[in-house]
Amino acid sequence: MAMTRGFTKALPLLMAFFAAAYSRAADPTRPATSPQILAAAEKEGKIVIYSTTDSVAAAPLLKDFGALYPKITVEYNDMNSTEIYNRFLSEAAAGGGSADLLWSSAMDLQIKLANDGNALAYQSPEAAHLPAWAVWKNEAFGTTFEPIAFVYNKRLLKPEEVPHSHAELIKLLKANPERFKGKVTSYDPERSGIGFLLITQDARTDPAFAEAAKAYGKVGVKLYPSTGAMMERILSGEHLIGFNMIGSYAIAKQRKDPSLGVVYPKDYTLVMSRIAIIPKMAKRPNAGKVFLDYLLSSRGQEIIGNKAALFSIRPDVQGETTAATLNKEMGSSLKPIPVSPSLLVYLDQSKRLEFLKQWQEALGTK
Amino acid sequence: MRGTAPWFRISVVLVTGCAVLLPLGIILYQSFLDAPFFQPSVKLSLSAFQFVLADRDFHRAFATTAVIALGMAAIAVPVGSLLAFLLVRTDLPGRNWLEPVVLIPIFLSPVVLGFGYVVSAGPVGFFSLWAKQVFGSVPWNLYSLASLTWIAGLTHIPYVYLYTSSALRALSADLEEAAAVAGAGAVRIAFTVSLPMVRPAILYSGVLVFFLGFEVFGLALILGDPGGLLVLSTYLFKLTNRLGVPSYQLMAVVAVVIVAIAFPLVYLQRRLLRASSRFVTLRGKGLSQRPLMLGRWRWAGFGLVVVWLCVTVLLPLSGVFLRSFVSSWGEGVRLAEVATLENFRQLLDYPNLVRGITNTLILAVFGGAVAVGCYALIGLALHRWQSGWARTLDYLVMVPRGMPGLVAGLAFLWVFLFVKPLAPLRNTLFSIWLAYSVVWLAYGMRLISSALLQVSPELEEAGHIMGASRGQVTRDVTLPLIRFGLLGSWLLVFMIFVREYSTGVYLLGPGTEVIGSLIVSLWSTGAIDIVAALSVVNVLLVAIGLAVALRLGVRLHG
């Protein structure tokens, strides 16, 4: 009797193991999650995700995940990066549940959460396929490879005017101050975390940054807190060109409206990555691990790159919007922002305010 | 009043007090700390006040906000009350179908409304391009402080309209008839009899609109951004990111400053209305209302209404509608080439769309009705009660709206997280309903309390003399008499709940999506085409709802 019961208990596990082993052999794109973790995750039955990727872009990913792991229901919350951070911290402080996976484009806030001891360390079997700069301490994982681009209005900017590097953009603005007055747009670093991150990276990467800032100031650059407003205003002709625009959004928009032009600057193109972390206090850590493995697997990356247009980060995934293609075309001019504590420098209050002050002085707005 | 059970009144005051003071208390406490209140290392400090009060951006934002709020009140109050008089008390042509149309601006999310203006009258809007062809340049600047103030003022007229019209409906006709018999024309009657008699309602709406001026966010974000205009709510938005990590103490300080402005306003209002018996207009002897003949002013009045509708409804809505049927717009675009139904097709594919719409309707229709029920309870508890409790409640009702939506949202998240008995309700529509109802308390309640103010005591006393209990008098006398106030309140709450978003932002989750949150999340990722399509669907839904309600005999007026 006792033996039979033990065997009946072990049977599903055993079957799961063989099933996993079998399907793995059959399908090399399947995430390499260990059968134990998968079984535990299926027992948890659910995963709660807080994410900045909107549900439309994430839909193909979630659909495929559901097909692969029908026993794990996904509760997907899309919100902006500040909301994720606030909600998570408050929920963590109150005890009781929060998300099982945080997936956000605010790289600095994600690293801060990890650095403050909120992230669970997990040796994802898929992480070995990522570039070294994209993984920090097995706690924070870069999941996408999104180039930062110039975006312009193809109807109103002549092909010969289109700048292909930061230097060319500055030259263009300096040569036609009247034509570009109030026609250039970008993120407002004071109101947008990602905007701040990008402009500080510019300051670090571009030797002519001071001159660039002055030129932006001269034409009265218009600063907004979100990409949506900027692209709409570029497309309508209210503005002509925008810099530091997130390439994935621009490509998605371009597929709907071909009059949007996208240029990856040749001197340097910054690359940002959506960072995923599994919170230490996650109620369903195994489900979090399964989803993370899925995000990083070639199956998940295939969808990230080719269906969601978020640019896959794995070098072994091919397609138009992938790191592989970008690397082939751009080579060393790609400057990925590393997933590392160097992102924390400007979360220091006085350094941040000082940078903003300098930026505004360079623009001539203060 | 004789024989009333004070326990009923006091318990209403206590429950309301809890609902208001809990979130507010957290914010007040947070403003005197140097870090999030739940952090173990937190210390008491005035540093947040020092930072904000010394910040030049704060001064700039405060000044701009004050100008906008004053301007809004100055525009919305006279036009709104005149509009109410024309539609309720006169024989204006088409007044029956005009009424629902007048209310459209408050259905629309201000972000969408602002965006509609950009599409139609922005620098490359279609009206602007047309004007450019005719005049050689665009003769207006949509992004100036003046435009923002005017648009904010004009789009807030429906609030004043609702308050004034429900008071005018309860105005018994004898006074106007007397004036008419004495030979006064309709215009004279409006300015010397009708409008002065509903002064409490007009005054309330003025104060509330002024206060809404401190909340203007969506419009300021869309129309203020390009010109670099900063208002308090956009300043607050800046504070969430300025220091890299959200600094709750700074946000709390801004909220505390706005709440502090509420107190003198309520005091002023109370002083102006001290002799409230002067506004009793529902007496024992009433005459049925007959519309006043406008005579030669008839078409002038109609013209005024139509012009207002063109600027506040047609102009932005045409922009939104146009945007929903094209893939691209602006300079150098031929509309015929970009026309498409793709946006609507994509909207249909949007996950959770149906649930969002259903949730919104549940929240607005039923949640709105329940909220009005609660407001009515509070109103009745305060009715003819001269006591310190009543005065306290008067102030309490006003302060929640002092918390800007962003901050109120956080405060309610904290209430539902840290007040353990409430925690299980956090992921339900109830939490959102409670947050909405508390924040909009003043707005729903004022319509009811100004209706109560109009009821003459003799009517209720008659009931008491006949031996009716207080409950019976309330049910059979008072409530039927204030039905216009209740209906107006429900209509207002319905409209506010349909488009409210920021207050619930931290409470929303899978299963509790509302249209407002869908719009904002789509907006931020740039899916503006879908936002436009969704807004069109939103307007149509509300229009159909209103038409059905009117058909089924829900009358907006008696």
Contact A77 B38 (CB under 8 A): no
* ipTM of this complex: 0.82
Is the separation of the CB atoms in A290 and A70 below 8 Å? Answer: no
- In angstroms, the CA B11 to CA B5 distance is 10
- Packing angle of the helix pair A193-205, A209-218 (nearest 10 deg): 130
pLDDT of residue A183: 94
Mean pLDDT of B156-185: 84
Tell which wins on pLDDT, B545 or A332.
A332
pLDDT tens, position by position, B437-461: 999 998 888 888 878 877 878 888 8
Q: Where are the beta strands (DSSP E) in B328-473?
A: none
pLDDT band at B275 (very low <50, low <70, confident <90, very high): low
pLDDT at A344: 92
Structural element, H or E, at residue B512: none
pLDDT band at residue A2 using 50, 70 and 90 as cut-offs: very low
pLDDT in tens, A132-171: 999 999 999 999 999 999 999 999 999 999 999 999 999 9
- Using a CB–CB cutoff of 8 Å, tell me whether A249 touches chain B: yes
| pLDDT: which is higher, A363 or B505 | A363
B291 phi and psi, to 5 degrees?
-65, 140
Residue A205: predicted pLDDT: 93
Contacts of B333 in chain A (CB under 8 A): 155, 236-237, 259
Q: Which fold has domain A148-271+344-363?
A: D-Maltodextrin-Binding Protein; domain 2 (3.40.190)
B 226-285 residues with CB < 8 A to A: 226, 228, 237-238, 240-246
Q: Which residue has the higher pLDDT, B28 or B10?
A: B28
Q: First vs last Cα of chain B: how many Å apart? A: 30
> Which residues lie below 8 Å from residue A185, measured CB to CB, with a gap of 6+?
A221, A222, A223, A224, A230, A233, A234, A239, A241, A242
Residue A102 is classified by DSSP as: E
Task: Name the nearest CA neighbour of B301 among B83, B105, B77, B557.
Answer: B83
Q: Tell me phi and psi for residue A101, to 5 degrees.
A: -155, 130
Return the amino acid letter for B362. I
Q: Are strands A260-263 and A241-246 parallel, antiparallel or unpaired?
A: unpaired
The angle, 0 to 180 degrees and rounded to 10, between the axes of the packed helices B515-525 and B110-121 is: 50
> Is A247 a residue whose pLDDT tops 80?
yes
Q: Which residue of A has its CA nearest to B122?
A: A238
Mean pLDDT of B209-220: 86
Under 8 Å between Cβ of A189 and A356: yes
CATH fold for domain B6-551? MetI-like fold (1.10.3720)
Whether B122 and A89 lie within 8 Å, measured CB to CB: no
Q: Which residues in chain A (321-360) have CB-CB distances under 8 A to chain B?
A: 346-349, 352-353, 356
Beta bridge partners of A187: A224
Q: Which two tokens stand for residue B397?
A: 């009702």
A49-105 confidence digits (pLDDT tens): 999 888 888 989 999 999 999 999 999 988 888 888 988 998 988 887 789 999 999
Give the Cα-Cα-Cα angle B512, B516, B521 (nearest 5 degrees): 90
The answer to whether the CB of A157 falls within 8 A of the CB of A240 is yes
Residue B183 has pLDDT above 90, yes or no: no
* Distance from C-alpha of B542 to C-alpha of B548, rounded to nearest angstrom: 10
CB A193 within 8 A of CB A108: yes
Find the largest Cα–Cα distance for chain B: 77
Render pLDDT for A196-229 as a digit per residue (tens, 0 to 9): 999 999 999 999 999 999 999 999 999 988 887 8
Could you tell me how many CB contacts below 8 A there are between chain A and chain B? 156
In terms of pLDDT, which residue wins out, B1 or B279?
Answer: B279
CB A35 within 8 A of CB A300: no
Local confidence band at A1 (pLDDT 50, 70, 90 cut-offs): very low
- Inter-chain touch A56–B510, beta carbons under 8 Å: no
Cα of A191 to nearest chain B Cα, Å? 5
Residues of chain A with CATH 3.40.190.10: 32-145+273-321, 148-271+344-363
> Residue B82 carries which side chain, given as an amino acid letter?
L
- What is the phi/psi pair of residue A263, to 5°? -125, 130
- Interface-testing mutation among A153, A158, A236, A283, with chain B (most B C-beta atoms within 10 A): A236
pLDDT per residue as tens digits for the range B49-73: 999 999 988 999 999 999 999 999 9
* Residue A16's pLDDT band (cuts 50, 70, 90): low
For a pLDDT cut of 70, what percent of chain A falls above it?
Answer: 93
Q: Would you mind telling me the total number of residues written for chain B in this entry?
A: 558
Nearest to B510 among A76, A252, A259 (CB): A76
The residues, ordered by sequence, that sit 6+ positions from B202 with a Cβ below 8 Å of its Cβ are B77, B81, B160, B163, B164, B167, B195
Backbone angles phi, psi at A113, to 5 degrees: -60, -45
Q: Is the pLDDT of residue B375 over 90?
A: yes
* A32-145+273-321 topology per CATH: D-Maltodextrin-Binding Protein; domain 2 (3.40.190)
- The residue type found at A138 is N
The pLDDT of residue A167: 95
Provide the pLDDT for residue B197: 83
Nearest CA among B94, B320, B303, B289 for reference residue B173: B289
Q: Give the C-alpha separation, B139 to A274, whole Å.
A: 45
pLDDT at residue B287, rounded to an integer: 52
The reported pLDDT for the residue numbered B555 is 54
Question: Strands across the sheet with A46-51, in order?
Answer: A73-78, A46-51, A101-104, A275-277, A140-142, A135-136
Q: Can you read off the two tokens belonging to residue A249?
A: 């959004």
Closest residue in B to A86 (Cα–Cα): B246
Distance CA B65, CA B233 (A): 9
**Nearest beta carbon to residue B332 from set A54, A79, A156:** A156
For residues A259 and B523, give the distance between their C-alpha atoms in angstroms, rounded to a whole number.
20
* Mean pLDDT value of segment B287-311: 81
Residue A340's closest CA among A34, A177, A171, A131? A131
Q: Is the pLDDT of residue B527 over 70?
A: yes
* In contact, A314 and A293? CB cutoff 8 Å: no
In contact, B481 and B282? CB cutoff 8 Å: yes
The per-residue pLDDT of chain A, averaged, comes to 89
% of chain B surpassing 90 pLDDT: 19
Beta-bridge mates of residue A261: A152
Q: Check residue B1 and give its pLDDT.
A: 44
Question: What pLDDT sits at residue B399?
Answer: 84
For residues B464-468, average pLDDT: 85
pTM: 0.86
Contact partners, residue A23, CB within 8 Å, separation at least 6: A30
| Alpha-carbon B295 to chain mean position | 34
pLDDT of residue B530 exceeding 90: no
Using CA atoms of A290, A296, A299, A300 in order, give the dihedral in degrees to the nearest 10. Answer: 80
For testing contact with chain B, the best of A46, A50, A83 (most B CBs within 10 A): A83
> What is the rounded CA–CA span in Å between residue A103 and residue A118?
14
- Residue A30, helix vs strand vs coil: coil
How high is the pLDDT of residue A174?
94
Q: Which two tokens stand for residue A203?
A: 């300051």
Whole-angstrom distance, CA of residue A165 vs CA of residue B259: 50
User: What confidence tens digit (pLDDT) does each residue in A291-300 have?
Assistant: 999 999 999 9
Residue A20 has pLDDT above 80, yes or no: no
pLDDT at B153: 94
What dihedral angle (degrees, nearest 10) is formed by the CA atoms of B211, B215, B221, B225? Answer: 50
Mean pLDDT, residues B306-314: 89
Asked if B337 reaches chain A (Cβ–Cβ under 8 Å), the answer is: no
Task: Give CA–CA dist A276/A300, Å, rounded.
Answer: 14
Residue B205, amino acid: S
Contacts by residues A132-136 (CB-CB < 8 Å, ≥ 24 positions apart): A133/A336, A133/A338, A133/A339, A133/A340, A134/A273, A134/A313, A134/A336, A134/A338, A134/A339, A135/A339, A136/A111, A136/A339, A136/A340, A136/A341
Query: Percentage of residues in chain B with pLDDT exceeding 70?
Result: 94
In chain A, what is the greatest distance between 2 CA atoms, to the nearest angstrom? 90
Query: At CA B151, angle to CA B149 and CA B157, rounded to 5?
Result: 100
pLDDT at B288: 60
Distance CA A284, CA A289 (A): 9
Q: How many CB atoms lie within 10 A of CB B366?
A: 12
- Name the band, by pLDDT with cuts 50, 70 and 90, for residue B376: very high
| pLDDT band, residue A11 (cuts 50/70/90) | low
pLDDT band at A366 (very low <50, low <70, confident <90, very high): low
Q: Is the pLDDT assigned to residue A263 strictly greater than 70?
A: yes
Is residue A26's pLDDT more than 90?
no
DSSP 8-state secondary structure symbol assigned to residue A34: -
Given a contact cutoff of 8 angstroms between Cβ atoms, the answer to whether B127 and B315 are in contact is yes
Contacts of A222 in chain B (CB under 8 A): 225-226
Stretch B425-447: mean pLDDT: 89
Is-contact B248 B30, C-beta < 8 A? yes
Is residue A5 scored above 70 in pLDDT?
A: no
**What was the pLDDT predicted at B2?**
43
Angle at A137 between CA A107 and CA A342, to 5 degrees: 45
A279 neighbors A120 (Cβ within 8 angstroms): yes
Quickly count: other Cβ atoms within 10 Å of residue B524's Cβ: 18
Q: How confident is the model over A345-366, as a mean pLDDT? A: 88
Cα A188 to Cα A193: distance, rounded to the nearest angstrom: 9
Query: B505 to chain A: which residues are within 8 Å by CB?
Result: 79, 83
Query: Cα-flanking dihedrals φ and ψ of residue A114, to 5°?
Result: -65, -45
- Mean residue pLDDT of chain B comes to 84
Q: What is the Cα–Cα distance from B131 to B151, expressed in whole angstroms?
A: 19
* Structure tokens, B243: 């220091």
| Range with the largest mean pLDDT of A2-6, A37-41, B299-303, B477-481 | A37-41
Cα–Cα dist B358/B353, whole Å: 9
- Rounded to a whole number of angstroms, the distance between the first and last alpha carbons of chain A is 82
